[in-house]
Structure 1
Amino acid sequence: MEPTAQYRDVLSMILLKHAKLTPSHGRIEVFPVLDAERDHYCLVDAGWERGARVHSMIFFARIVDEKIRLEWDGLGYGITQELIEAGIPEGDIVHAWTEPCPPEATRRSMQSEAGVQTAPA
């Protein structure tokens, strides 16, 4: 399978799994948005909490130049490890918030997601 097709499948699988998880508070639904034509993948939530309308983007990634570009990852622990465990090479995962992003920056970002303190390179 070519990388872009594999990345589409993996992102879709992971986001569909996360969409099944619902917040423990409020009446909030979680929705996956899977746009394989434009290679945009989002996880959003919307609903009601304490009498107020709430909505937010939980996760947003794009596939660009055969790499997964993580634009926003609000999953708490981060999705990078799930992508690697699903067979995505670490070098093909770009954390947009650490541009420019060589593989060592991805590792630092993963450690930061896990709460590990690292020194800048």
Structure 2
Amino acid sequence: MDQLEHYRHLIQTILTEHTRVPFKGSDVQFETVFDTKQDRYLVMMLGREPVYDRPYAATRRVHSCLIHVNLIDGKVWIQRDGTEEGIASELVKAGIPKDQIVLGFRSQELRKDTEFAVQ
């Protein structure tokens, strides 16, 4: 398996694991969106959650991106990471070197102060 295929497999496995953790106290569901042709990988949150700051029972619609990862020029770009542990640390644990991971959600100036790739 070549390096890009290996990265694709790891990303899809890790993101799929995030869909198995329930969102407590609501009917919010997680779903993956994998575009392997353009190397875009997402975990979306969809559903309704309670709104507790209102005097009556109410819910609000949830439709947002929890995780967004791209493969660009052979590197793993993390565009959005709404997880507690951090997708970057999960990717490193899975065997992807830090110099192959770009924290795209950080500015280029701040990236140079991390252990990860600048670009």
**Are 1:62 and 2:70 counterparts?**
yes
Deviation readout 1:29-82 (Å, 9 max, x if unpaired): 000111111100111111011222111110101000110000111112211111
Q: Tell me, which stretches of 5 or more residues in structure 2 are unaligned? A: 51-58
Question: What is residue 105 of structure 1 aligned with on the other side?
Answer: 114
- Number of residue pairs aligned between Structure 1 and Structure 2: 106
> 2:62 & 2:73 partners in 1: Cα distance?
34
Q: Distance in 2 between matches of 1:33 and 1:71?
A: 14
1:87 to 77, 95, 113: 95
Off by >2 Å, runs of 4+ in structure 1 = none
Deviates more, 1:92-101 or 1:29-38: 92-101
Letter of the structure 2 residue corresponding to residue 19 of structure 1: T
User: Could you list the runs of 5+ residues in structure 1 that have no partner in the other structure?
Assistant: 108-121
Tell me the TM-score normalized by structure 1. Answer: 0.81
For residues 27-46 of structure 1, the aligned pairs below 5 Å read: 27-46=27-46
Paired letter, 1:23: F
Q: Which has the larger share of helix? A: 1
Query: Is 1:9 matched up with 2:9?
Result: yes
Residue pair 1:15, 1:32 contacting (<8 A) in 2 also: yes
CA RMSD of aligned residues (A): 1.5
**Percent of residue pairs bearing the same amino acid type:** 28
1:52 matches 2:60: yes
Give the Å deviation of 1:105. Answer: 1.7
TM-score by length of 2: 0.82
Q: Which has the larger radius of gyration?
A: 2
Matched residue of 2:21: which SS? coil
- CA 1:42 to 1:106, structure 2 compared with 1: closer, same or farther past 3 Å? farther
Contact 1:44 1:59 in 2 (8 A): yes
3-state DSSP of counterpart to 2:96 = coil
2:18 aligns with: 18
